[in-house]
Chain A
Amino acid sequence: AQSVSQHNHHVILSEAASLELGCNYSYGGTVNLFWYVQYPGQHLQLLLKYFSGDPLVKGIKGFEAEFIKSKFSFNLRKPSVQWSDTAEYFCAVNRAGSARQLTFGSGTQLTVLP
Chain B
Amino acid sequence: DVKVTQSSRYLVKRTGEKVFLECVQDMDHENMFWYRQDPGLGLRLIYFSYDVKMKEKGDIPEGYSVSREKKERFSLILESASTNQTSMYLCASSQNIGTNTEAFFGQGTRLTVV
Question: Which bucket holds chain B's interface residue count?
Answer: 20 to 34
Q: How far is the CA of A96 from the CA of B58 in the complex (A)?
A: 18
Within 8 A of A (CB), among B78-114: 90, 92, 94-96, 99-108
Q: Report the nearest A residue to B41, measured CB to CB.
A: A106
Q: Is the CB of A96 within 8 A of B31?
A: no
A-B contact pairs, 24 of them (CB 8 A): A34-B102, A36-B105, A42-B107, A43-B90, A43-B108, A46-B102, A46-B104, A49-B102, A51-B100, A90-B42, A92-B43, A96-B99, A97-B100, A99-B95, A99-B100, A100-B31, A100-B48, A101-B45, A101-B48, A101-B58, A102-B45, A104-B43, A106-B41, A107-B40
Q: How far is the CA of A100 from the CA of B100 in the complex (A)?
A: 10
Q: Which of B43, B45, B90 gathers most chain A CB within 10 Å?
A: B43
B78 to chain A, nearest CB (A): 21
Within 8 A of A (CB), among B40-57: 40-45, 48, 50, 56
CB neighbours (8 Å) of B102 from chain A are 34, 46, 49
Q: Which of A6, A42, A96, A100 gathers most chain B CB within 10 Å?
A: A100
Q: Is the CB of A45 within 8 A of B42?
A: no
Q: Report the nearest A residue to B31, measured CB to CB.
A: A99
CB neighbours (8 Å) of B92 from chain A are 44, 102
| With contact pairs A98-B99, A100-B56 given, residues A90 and B43 touching in the complex (Cβ less than 8 Å) | yes
Q: Is the CB of B105 within 8 A of A43?
A: yes
Q: How far is the CA of A105 from the CA of B43 in the complex (A)?
A: 7
Q: How far is the CA of A103 from the CA of B35 in the complex (A)?
A: 10
| With contact pairs A34-B102, A43-B107, A44-B105 given, residues A99 and B43 touching in the complex (Cβ less than 8 Å) | no
Q: How far is the CA of A15 from the CA of B100 in the complex (A)?
A: 35
Q: Is the CB of B45 within 8 A of A103?
A: yes
